[in-house]
Amino acid sequence: MNLFDVYPLYNVTPVSGKGSIITDDKGQEYLDLYGGHAVISIGHSHPHYVQRLKRQLDQIGFYSNAVQNPLQRELATKLGQLSHCDDYQLFLCNSGAEANENALKMASFQTGKSRVIAFHNGFHGRTSAAVAATDNPTINAPINQQQKVTFVPLNDSAAFKKEVEKADVCAVILEAIQGVGGLDEPTTDFYREIAQSCKKNQVMLIADEVQSGFGRSGTFFGFQHHGIEPDIISIAKGMGNGFPVGGILIHNTIPAKYGMLGTTFGGNHLACAATMAVLEVLESEHLIENAQKLGVYFTEKATGIPQVKRVKGRGLMLGLEFDFEVAELRKKLIYEQHIFTGGAKDKHVLRILPALTIGKEQIDLFFNALKTVLQ
Ligand SMILES: Cc1ncc(COP(=O)(O)O)c(C=O)c1O
């Protein structure tokens, strides 16, 4: 049987990883500044992560949500503490799209309405309502187009106000830093205006923190740079450091009802162990602080490179904007310099999403390589 050919692949076959280094089947080492789309948060094969997962697997890997699973409660407590989001309830699922799907569904249940406001260049996943709220017609099939979604330009107050005041809106969904789109951000004023308008119009504010959450932006969640309180927060990616796990944090003001949400795999024992390991390492190695500091260091170094037009993002969720398309540059970085980087919908932006454990030496190594390939 052939694989369904939907991915254009680089010709590299990783066989092992340690921290920010990946080794391929020929023994060649690569510096990983992309973490497989922002997934690797505490580094490849972190010893604590490996040990916790192995230990869990020796005990029990999975049982469904029909029985008590104390690991889920332990995880909810730890997540509440570290994120300073104690006023929320946790529902666990398996991916970012599923998290947003559940978030949008909750918003619709809670408000009894169904239209969604999303933003130009936003990305929220590839499933039903999540893909409909994603600004990319090429991945939106006719079946998804049945959802009612209105796209508004980011930071356009007038356009937003006009839509949010209509009576049928259940949710506004946005990223604190647009990942796939190319690292654009709402201003603090705009994010606060969104939060206020949502309250005023009985609309649920969904913070999509799938990519920007779990410390990547230098605070636990990206929206925390703006001092607002969303109704629902969606999480995934860095949460499991490679183990497929997602979730939503639902504000305590929103009541749960049996059967309202559900999943077979979500919140299983292994997923909880992986997420607990990530939280423990984020805390013990002060990785959120490291993300903040190293982001500043990276930005300082980038501003010294004449070809870089602009440095975008925060913490270790960064983009370098050039006045040319970066596809060839990425190829040179991977094949000649052995460094993994990412692209974005904005083809001029090189995305940098390293593990939050990264150090200055590895950033120096990247900039030396970048200077070489830009010559
Ligand atoms: C902000 C954001 N939301 C949702 C998703 C979808 O996550 P997943 O691929 O785990 O379904 C992504 C994936 O890139 C994302 O960046």
The arithmetic mean of pLDDT across residues 328-357, rounded, is 98
Model confidence band, residue 14 (pLDDT cutoffs 50, 70, 90): very high
- Which ligand 1 atom minimizes the distance to the CA of 127? 11
The arithmetic mean of pLDDT across residues 25-34, rounded, is 98
- Residue 136 CA to residue 127 CA, distance in Å, equals 13
pLDDT of amino acid 291: 98
Strands in 310-314's sheet, in edge-to-edge order, are 310-314, 317-321, 349-352
- Which ligand 1 atom minimizes the distance to the CA of 37? 14
Secondary element (H or E) of residue 88: strand 88-93
- Residue 251 CA to residue 268 CA, distance in Å, equals 22
pLDDT, tens digit (0-9, with 9 covering 90-100), for 128-172: 999 999 999 999 999 999 999 999 999 999 999 999 999 999 999
Of 7, 180, 210, best ligand 1 pocket probe by most atoms within 8 Å of the beta carbon:
210
Instruction: Please answer whether residues 31 and 365 qualify as being in contact, where contact means their C-beta atoms are separated by less than 8 angstroms.
Output: yes
Q: Kindly report the number of other CB atoms within 10 A of residue 336's CB atom.
A: 11
Q: How remote is the CA of residue 366 from the centroid of ligand 1, in Å? A: 26
CATH of 59-284, one of 3.40.50.1820, 3.40.50.2300, 3.40.640.10, 3.90.1170.50: 3.40.640.10
Rounded to 10 degrees, the C-alpha dihedral 355/361/363/364 comes to -170
pLDDT of amino acid 17: 98
Instruction: Please answer whether residues 65 and 262 qualify as being in contact, where contact means their C-beta atoms are separated by less than 8 angstroms.
Output: yes
- Which ligand 1 atom minimizes the distance to the CA of 125? 6
pLDDT of amino acid 141: 97
pLDDT of amino acid 251: 98
- Residue 26 CA to residue 325 CA, distance in Å, equals 30
Q: How remote is the CA of residue 305 from the centroid of ligand 1, in Å? A: 31
Q: How remote is the CA of residue 24 from the centroid of ligand 1, in Å? A: 26
pLDDT of amino acid 359: 98
Would you list the domain boundaries of the chain? 59-284
Model confidence band, residue 43 (pLDDT cutoffs 50, 70, 90): very high
pTM exceeds 0.75 for this model = yes
Q: Kindly report the number of other CB atoms within 10 A of residue 50's CB atom.
A: 12
Q: How remote is the CA of residue 334 from the centroid of ligand 1, in Å? A: 24
139-151 burial, b if ≥16 CB within 10 A, otherwise e?
ebeeebeebebbb
Nearest residue to 151 (alpha-carbon basis) of 121, 131, 178:
121
Token code pair at residue 200: 């005023």
Instruction: Please answer whether residues 164 and 201 qualify as being in contact, where contact means their C-beta atoms are separated by less than 8 angstroms.
Output: yes
- Which ligand 1 atom minimizes the distance to the CA of 246? 10
Secondary element (H or E) of residue 171: strand 169-175
Q: How remote is the CA of residue 125 from the centroid of ligand 1, in Å? A: 5
Of 124, 173, 185, best ligand 1 pocket probe by most atoms within 8 Å of the beta carbon:
124
pLDDT of amino acid 25: 98
Q: How remote is the CA of residue 124 from the centroid of ligand 1, in Å? A: 5
